[in-house]
Amino acid sequence: MQATSRRCRWASIPGPNMREAASMYGTAVAVFLVILVAALQGSVPPESPFPYHIPLDPEGTLELSWNVSYVQEDVHFQLLVRGLKAGVLFGMSDRGELENADLVVLWTDGGRSYFADAWSDQKGRIHLDNQQDYQLLQAQGTPDGLVLLFKRPFATCDPKDYLIEDGTVHLVYGILEEPFQSLEAINISSLHTGLQRVQLLKPEVPTPAVPADTRTMEIRAPDVLIPSEETTYWCYITELPQGFPRHHIVMYEPIVTEGNEALVHHMEVFQCAATFESFPHFSGPCDSKMKPQRLSYCRHVLAAWALGAKAFYYPEEAGLAFGGPGSSRYLRLEVHYHNPLKIPGRRDSSGIRLYYTATLRRFDAGIMELGLVYTPVMAIPPKETAFVLTGYCTDKCTQLALPSSGVHIFASQLHTHLTGRKVVTVLARDGRETEIVNRDNHYSPHFQEIRMLKKVVSVHQGDVLITSCTYNTEDRKLATVGGFGILEEMCVNYVHYYPQTQLELCKSAVDPGFLQKYFHLVNRFNSEDVCTCPQATVPQQFASVPWNSFSRDVLRALYAFAPISMHCNRSSAVRFQGEWDLQPLPEIVSPLEEPTPHCPTRGAQSPAGPTVVNIGRGRA
């Protein structure tokens, strides 16, 4: 065990909060601190700095940087705390709640300060963790604020700990404004707390080289005045130059107006449909009544970015075609402003910078939709906490529509509406699940990034792709049916792949005839009646199902058994030739095994309790 100590100054940023705090406790906040870092154990701050950054709170008080070691299976965190008051709380939880969270806490009892691995129970009470898996490596005062450096393994095998997985991680934070006698005394509900979503385990994909003739184009918001409302989706129509020829987008990156880093939540660039000659110009909230109807035809994704994401690179052998004949010149930029503090008067010109080349790469990249058809026959009963719907891309469709050399999926964007909680796509071959294409066990419909896959997934003729979405309808009173409406549901994985093929959509839904058998049998088991007459629509039928354990379980059983109707479509909704109705569900004889988490061997390096971070109190 190694112990180092160092003396340094608290950052003293004389902001109003600090003055408040100073007067509150009668002592100064610019204090001297002596850091006792308990266990450095071969973990000097890693040589590469922290490639990933994200502001945690809208004021930018807390800033997180991190890096990932897939070899060590751990994450190094660097947390910058501006204007530290009495402490800070940081951690992760299933969906961003402060209850049942896995936490690190830096707190002071007025004299000493402590750093500890802790957890909160379902009532939000904080407890010291038996196993100290967050390991403090350094605490340092800098001109910007206090910098805490700590690391944690992906998996700790402590049942109180969060398992860091691929996909979305809900980070939580809290600001301690006053000393607490103990961890247990901290009252979460009295703190300023919040959450931030991020993909913590970024893939370690080597950055492909960008061709020498690469040019850039910026699709940016036109100096928008950010509305002082919590949520705004801003729509802006722009266009490519007249006669802009066919190019390949090889990369793109976000441009975020300085100072607005915590407000710009996500941005997407869509290409409009080639069916229309022209599109009206527009700049305003996407839900504005002034928004021209036609803009709903601008849905073909060219680029998508969300908070915490970095530049997106196409594989060296592929690019996304845009421009040239047969494609629309019109582009729609959508910016999601998240302004929970309703800060007024902020102007913004954020957007996306496209890097493109005229030297077309070997392959066009394509986007394929996997999952469920947008139809009400796929429905989720109300009051379900984790109802799963599954969409299939069958062997018959991949056999017919994919080239014999297969296609290669390199990125994926998962999509559901409001009740989606998890999404996963699995590849199966000869009845055996072999590989996960993309999985997000903490999926949020408010955080739909395009994500590079850690490993390119090759799909061959005859392969099956199974996309499952888990929904939570606890707050709904009626069944949630599939459809386009925001209160209806979707289950989609937009996979980015090359070489582009004719297959644009490979999705399924339960056979409608079998659904009618379901309504019949529900009637047989219940006194209330579901109308199985021809004039009733499926949403009406679902609305009249009496939701008891039997009707729920049997709907689940139906979806797991009944034949499906396949949509194996070219662009513009033309099906490939063949029989696509009443198809058997793909049979899986060997599901993918869940890997057992690899528990780190714990040795002398783990402290048994809190690490003392002796913060002496200084002068004003």
Contact of 358 with 527, CB cutoff 8 Å: no
Nearer to a copy of itself, 369 or 384 (CB): 384
Question: Which candidate in 233, 297, 338, 446 is catalytic?
Answer: 233
Q: What is the dihedral of CA 416, 374, 510, 396, to 10 degrees?
A: -90
Question: Which candidate in 415, 417, 442, 567 is catalytic?
Answer: 415
Cα-to-chain-centroid distance, residue 486 = 18
As a whole number of Å, the end-to-end CA separation of the chain is 36
Exactly one of 13, 301, 478, 521 binds a copy of itself (CB under 8 A); that residue is 521
The two three-digit tokens of residue 493, written as one number = 């994985």
By CB under 8 A, what part of segment 114-173 binds a copy of itself?
Answer: 130-131, 157-160
Exactly one of 71, 477, 596, 619 binds a copy of itself (CB under 8 A); that residue is 596
Give the 3-state secondary structure of 425-450. EEEEECCEEEEEEEEECCCCCCCCCE
Nearer to a copy of itself, 276 or 525 (CB): 525
429 touches a copy of itself (CB under 8 A): no
The two three-digit tokens of residue 121, written as one number = 């129970």
Shortest distance in whole angstroms from residue 521 CB to a copy of itself: 5
Nearer to a copy of itself, 162 or 173 (CB): 162
Q: What does the alpha-carbon distance between residue 370 and residue 467 come to, in Å, rounded to a whole number?
A: 7
Nearer to a copy of itself, 322 or 559 (CB): 559
Quote the DSSP letter at residue 188. G
Shortest distance in whole angstroms from residue 319 CB to a copy of itself: 44
Which of 87-95, 145-153, 181-189, 553-561 is the region at the interface with a copy of itself (rule: CB under 8 A)? 553-561
Shortest distance in whole angstroms from residue 597 CB to a copy of itself: 7
Give the 3-state secondary structure of 366-383. EEEEEEECCCCCCEECCC
Q: What does the alpha-carbon distance between residue 101 and residue 89 come to, in Å, rounded to a whole number?
A: 11
Nearer to a copy of itself, 252 or 518 (CB): 518
Shortest distance in whole angstroms from residue 606 CB to a copy of itself: 8
527 touches a copy of itself (CB under 8 A): no
608 touches a copy of itself (CB under 8 A): yes
Mapped onto helix, strand or coil, the DSSP state of residue 18 is: helix
Shortest distance in whole angstroms from residue 518 CB to a copy of itself: 9
70 touches a copy of itself (CB under 8 A): no
Q: Which residue spans within 74-177 are E strands per DSSP?
A: 74-81, 87-93, 102-108, 113-120, 126-128, 135-142, 145-153, 168-176
The two three-digit tokens of residue 171, written as one number = 């980070």
Shortest distance in whole angstroms from residue 253 CB to a copy of itself: 40
560 touches a copy of itself (CB under 8 A): yes
Q: 233 an active-site residue? A: yes
Nearer to a copy of itself, 34 or 558 (CB): 558
CB atoms within 10 A of CB 51: 11
Q: What does the alpha-carbon distance between residue 303 and residue 269 come to, in Å, rounded to a whole number?
A: 5
Q: What does the alpha-carbon distance between residue 400 and residue 579 come to, in Å, rounded to a whole number?
A: 12
276 touches a copy of itself (CB under 8 A): no
CA torsion sign for 127, 130, 131, 137 is positive
Contact of 530 with 544, CB cutoff 8 Å: yes
Mapped onto helix, strand or coil, the DSSP state of residue 20 is: helix
Mapped onto helix, strand or coil, the DSSP state of residue 259 is: coil
Exactly one of 42, 49, 325, 603 binds a copy of itself (CB under 8 A); that residue is 603
592 touches a copy of itself (CB under 8 A): no
Which of 59-67, 83-91, 277-285, 594-602 is the region at the interface with a copy of itself (rule: CB under 8 A)? 594-602
Nearer to a copy of itself, 299 or 517 (CB): 517
Shortest distance in whole angstroms from residue 514 CB to a copy of itself: 8
Exactly one of 553, 582, 584, 616 binds a copy of itself (CB under 8 A); that residue is 553
Exactly one of 429, 454, 602, 617 binds a copy of itself (CB under 8 A); that residue is 602
DSSP of 163-174: P--SSEEEEEEE
Q: What does the alpha-carbon distance between residue 60 and residue 338 come to, in Å, rounded to a whole number?
A: 13
Quote the DSSP letter at residue 502. S
The two three-digit tokens of residue 158, written as one number = 């402590």
Exactly one of 123, 289, 477, 524 binds a copy of itself (CB under 8 A); that residue is 524
Nearer to a copy of itself, 130 or 540 (CB): 130
The two three-digit tokens of residue 4, written as one number = 């180092």
The two three-digit tokens of residue 431, written as one number = 């009845």
Exactly one of 19, 51, 184, 550 binds a copy of itself (CB under 8 A); that residue is 550
Shortest distance in whole angstroms from residue 201 CB to a copy of itself: 20
Which of 330-338, 368-376, 521-529, 538-546 is the region at the interface with a copy of itself (rule: CB under 8 A)? 521-529
Binding-site size, a copy of itself (CB under 8 A): 33
Quote the DSSP letter at residue 100. T
Contact of 320 with 269, CB cutoff 8 Å: no
Shortest distance in whole angstroms from residue 607 CB to a copy of itself: 10
Query: Using alpha carbons only, what angle is made at residue 162 by residues 156 and 165, rounded to the nearest 5 degrees?
Result: 90
Element (H, E) at 354: strand 351-357
Shortest distance in whole angstroms from residue 104 CB to a copy of itself: 18
Nearer to a copy of itself, 24 or 599 (CB): 599
Exactly one of 192, 362, 432, 520 binds a copy of itself (CB under 8 A); that residue is 520
Q: Which CA distances in Å does 573 have to 267, 390, 394, 508, 567?
A: 27, 21, 17, 13, 9
- Angle 549-559/512-525 helices, nearest 10 degrees? 160
Shortest distance in whole angstroms from residue 4 CB to a copy of itself: 21
Exactly one of 2, 182, 537, 548 binds a copy of itself (CB under 8 A); that residue is 548
Nearer to a copy of itself, 161 or 166 (CB): 161
Cα-to-chain-centroid distance, residue 499 = 26
Could you give the residue numbers annotated as active site? Answer: 233, 415
Residues that bind a copy of itself (CB under 8 A): 130-131, 157-160, 514, 517, 520-521, 524-525, 548-550, 553-554, 556-558, 560-562, 596-597, 599-604, 606, 608
